[in-house]
Amino acid sequence: MSFFPSRPGSTSLRDLFAMYPERAKFLLEYHQAVMRGPSPLSVAERELIFAYGSGVNACTFCHATHKYTAAHLGVDEGLFAKLLDDIDSAPVDARLKPILRYVKKLTQTPSRMTQADADAIFAAGWDERAFFDVVTICALHNYMNRMVDGCGVEVGEAEHRASGDRLSSIGYSGVAARLPAQG
């Protein structure tokens, strides 16, 4: 499904990027820096955060794509349903729990963040740079979730898995390099 009459049938993110090649270039460059550049958070942890936050927004496309990307990087696929149900009891590294709680709250009620929410991340041993990256990833998935659901992007499970294969191997810059040349 797509909400755009000129693109009937199933719309993929690639179709959306093709409609806006210039924007796609800047966005994918930003994704590459945030999700693959230097960070105290591992690539797997960053993909886990992106997938989890997208799940909080009930964005099927982003949640599934990043869940499979994280799975390629060693994260248990079954973890996400447990995290979305209850972070406290989910079998995830205790250091990630205050980060995931922050992402959930920043996604659902952004204006309510407090110093105590931030301090819980520092108390788990993370530094300011890690926290900076957490905020960025959360803001970014909130962007992408709305681009995808706002345009009616919807593809099947096989395409979610294929996207996870691509993002875990060639990254966002690799996806950008495969976009059609701009006319």
Partner 1 sequence: MPFFRFLDDNAGVGDVMVHDPERYLPIGTFTQDLLRGPSPFSVAERELIAAYVSGLNQCQFCHGAHAAVAADLGVDRGLFARLLDDVDRAPIADRLKPVLRYMKTLTLAPSRLTQADADAVFAAGWDEQALGDAIAICALFNFYNRIVEGHGIKGTPAYFERVKGFIAQQGYEARTRAALEAKQRKST
Binding residues vs partner 1 (CB under 8 A) = 1, 3-6, 19-20, 22-23, 26-27, 29-30, 33-34, 37, 57-60, 102, 106-107, 110-111, 113, 115, 118, 128, 131-132, 134-136, 138-140, 142-147, 149-152
Considering beta carbons, is residue 14 or 72 the nearer one to partner 1?
Answer: 14
Q: Which is nearer to partner 1, 83 or 144 (CB)?
A: 144
Q: Give DSSP secondary structure letters for 23-65.
A: HHHHHHHHHHHHHHSS-SS-HHHHHHHHHHHHHHTT-HHHHHH
Our CB check for partner 1 shows the closer of 26 and 169 to be: 26
- Judged by beta carbon, residue 2 or residue 97, the one nearer partner 1 is 2
CB of 91 to partner 1, least distance (A): 26
Beta carbons of 156 and 129 less than 8 angstroms apart: no
CB of 3 to partner 1, least distance (A): 4
Q: How far is the CB of 42 from partner 1 (least distance, A)?
A: 18
Are residues 172 and 35 in contact, defined by beta-carbon separation less than 8 angstroms? yes
Least distance (Å) between residue 122 CB and partner 1: 9
Smallest gap from residue 74 Cβ to partner 1 (A) = 25
* Contact between residue 24 and residue 17 where contact means Cβ atoms under 8 Å apart: yes
The total of other beta-carbon atoms located within 10 Å of residue 90's CB is 17
Residue (23 or 178) nearer to partner 1, CB: 23
CA distances, 136 to each of 40, 63, 163 (Å): 13, 17, 22
Pair 92, 79: CB distance under 8 Å: yes
